[in-house]
Amino acid sequence: MFRSRSTSKDEQAAAAKATPDQPKQTRDPQAPKGRPTPKRSEATAQRRSLASTPANRKDAAKRSREARRADLARQREALANGDERYLPIRDKGPVRRFARDYVDARYSAMEFFLPLAVLILILSMINRGSFQVYVLFAWMVVIALLVVNALVLGLGLRSALKQRFPDENRRGAVAYGVMRTLQVRRLRLPKPQVKRGEKP
């Protein structure tokens, strides 16, 4: 008789010790939830996020391609109208915008480099006596103009950037502006936002 009571007490103690280690039982449907009911907007947003999750890898790849295509379309539009929000990283920021405007507001011999290079290349195919000497001389004149123009433009742009943005990161902005002058004005991207002679 005493043995059975001690046994039952041992079983109860063992059950009490085992209870914290065991996982919690599922909640009775009739019992209180213990958490607030979500708002309708939150529940709707959660359902939409679950519905928009791709079901397999093929759908995920398709959505990724569509998102990339939309980003490229926004970038092309931004390059045409100068919208800062969707420009590529290399063109973003007030420093790069000022460098573009500084270059676009000036006439530069460097923007005619590509047409002149094509013309001189065509002329170099003509083999008539001393004509090649003149072609070589033309190459030298063009290269000298490019070097002088790049130095003058680079120094002026560096000074203007230092004066306008003393506390900003100006790294690479001068080279960015000089390289832009090598493009014909109509073909520059982002499109020029200032007129010739206009101060940026």
Percent of the chain with pLDDT over 90: 38
| pLDDT of res. 84 | 81
The tokens for 170 are 């100006």
Contacts of 141 (CB under 8 A, 6+ apart): none
For residue 30, is pLDDT > 60?
no
* Of 191, 110, 122, the residue nearest 151 (C-alpha): 110
| pLDDT of res. 53 | 63
Reported confidence tier of residue 86, pLDDT bands at 50, 70, 90: confident
Do residues 157 and 103 lie in contact, with contact meaning Cβ atoms separated by under 8 Å?
yes
Percent of the chain with pLDDT over 70: 75
- Per-residue pLDDT of 43-58, as tens digits, reads 676 666 555 566 678 8
For residue 31, is pLDDT > 50?
no
Phi, psi for 96 (deg, rounded to 5): -65, -35
> What does the mean pLDDT of the chain come to?
80
Burial of 168 (0-12, 13-18, 19+ CB in 10 A): middle
Higher pLDDT, 96 or 66: 96
The tokens for 46 are 């959660």
Q: For residue 120, which amino acid is it? A: I
Do residues 96 and 177 lie in contact, with contact meaning Cβ atoms separated by under 8 Å?
no
For residue 20, is pLDDT > 90?
no
| pLDDT of res. 178 | 94
| Cα torsion 49, 54, 60, 65: sign | negative
For residue 143, is pLDDT > 90?
yes
Quick one: average pLDDT of 59-83? 82
For residue 5, is pLDDT > 60?
no
| pLDDT of res. 38 | 63
Phi, psi for 93 (deg, rounded to 5): 100, 155
Do residues 187 and 111 lie in contact, with contact meaning Cβ atoms separated by under 8 Å?
no
